[in-house]
């Protein structure tokens, strides 16, 4: 018999992990920066993260998605994780949280 997975609780744990990953050029975590568009968790504990980068030419375009994937996979409850990069819609400062804007002196 398979163990019931609370996808909401796991989603919250994933968000907490995402908040430990920082954009190297901006001193704000990638979640508050608005780079994470969606987090999907299914009943099998497979995770898919839809994210963007600040620009298509972002210097961490190769490493940041890999870091996100590895940190999410490090959660015991996660069976597998996949990161998909999209530029639709393109990232803009409007996607940043109030917390991020405050941190960067934009409020």
Q: What residue spans define the domains of the chain?
A: 7-91
Mean pLDDT throughout 93-100?
95
Is the pLDDT at 2 greater than 60? The verdict is: no
The SS3 call for residue 49 is strand
- Taking the C-alpha atoms of residue 46 and residue 73, their distance in angstroms, rounded to an integer, is 9
Write down the pLDDT at residue 1: 37
pLDDT given at position 3: 57
16, pLDDT greater than 90: yes
What pLDDT band is residue 74 in, cutting at 50, 70 and 90?
very high
36-41 and 46-51 strand pairing: antiparallel
Place of tokens 């430990």: 20
The architecture in CATH of the region 7-91 reads: 2-Layer Sandwich (3.30)
Token reading at 82: 């996949």
pLDDT digits (tens, 9 = 90+) for 25-65: 888 999 999 999 999 999 899 999 999 999 888 888 889 99
């Amino acid at each position: 018999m398979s163990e019931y997975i609370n996808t909401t609780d796991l989603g919250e744990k994933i968000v907490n992990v995402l908040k430990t990953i920082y954009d190297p050029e901006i001193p704000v975590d990638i979640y508050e920066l608005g780079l994470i568009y969606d987090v999907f968790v299914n009943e099998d504990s497979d995770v898919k993260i839809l994210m963007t980068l600040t620009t298509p030419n972002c210097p961490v375009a190769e490493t940041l998605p890999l870091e996100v994937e590895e940190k999410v996979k490090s959660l015991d409850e996660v069976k597998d994780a996949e990161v998909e990069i999209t530029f639709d819609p393109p990232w803009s400062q409007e996607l940043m949280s109030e917390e991020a804007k405050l941190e960067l002196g934009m409020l």
